Structure formats: C-alpha cells, structure tokens
Amino acid sequence: MLEARTNLTPQSVRFFIRNGASIMPFFRKTEVSDADVDAIAAYLTRPKPAAPPVAPQAVRP
C-alpha cells in the first residue's frame, strides 16, 4: 500500500506522527523522540529501489 503513495514528504510524515490523522493516534516526544521521528520519515519517504536490469537477449545470426 505504501508503495503506491507518491505524495508523502518527510514533513507530512512528521506532522502525522506528532498530530495523528483520522484513527491514527499522535505520539508525544516522550513516546517517540525527534530523532526516531526523523528516522521513520526518512524510511517511509526513501526513493524506491531501481528495477533490476534486464538480461540482454541472444541474437540469432
């Protein structure tokens, strides 16, 4: 599901962690440190890995 998201930014992830959204609760600084929030935001918004290269096909003479 997360792979389909294209609009997540580190700032929006930080906002939702600290403020909650819909049924997601918020997390206080005493529960999740700023460093942990930054790490979570970086993980969730990291670039997708590149697709593996396609092996070349043999050409018949």
Residue 39 inside a domain? The answer is yes
pLDDT digits (tens, 9 = 90+) for 2-57: 666 677 899 999 999 999 988 999 999 999 999 999 999 999 888 877 778 887 78
Would you say 16 and 44 are in contact if contact means Cβ atoms under 8 Å apart?
A: no
Q: Is the model's pTM score more than 0.75?
A: no
Q: Coil, strand or helix: which one is 26?
A: coil
Give CA angle at 28 (23, 29), nearest 5°: 150
Question: Does a structural domain hold residue 51?
Answer: no
The pLDDT value given to residue 38: 97
**Around 25, how many Cα atoms within 13 Å sit in the side-chain half-sphere?**
4
Per-residue pLDDT tens for 38-52? 999 999 888 877 778
Number of domains in the chain: 1
CB 45 within 8 A of CB 17: no
Structural domain includes residue 56: no
Residue 33 resides in a domain: yes
Q: What pLDDT was estimated at residue 35? A: 97
Range of the domain at 30: 2-44
The pLDDT, as a whole number, for residue 31 is: 96
* CA–CA gap between residue 42 and residue 59 (Å, rounded): 44
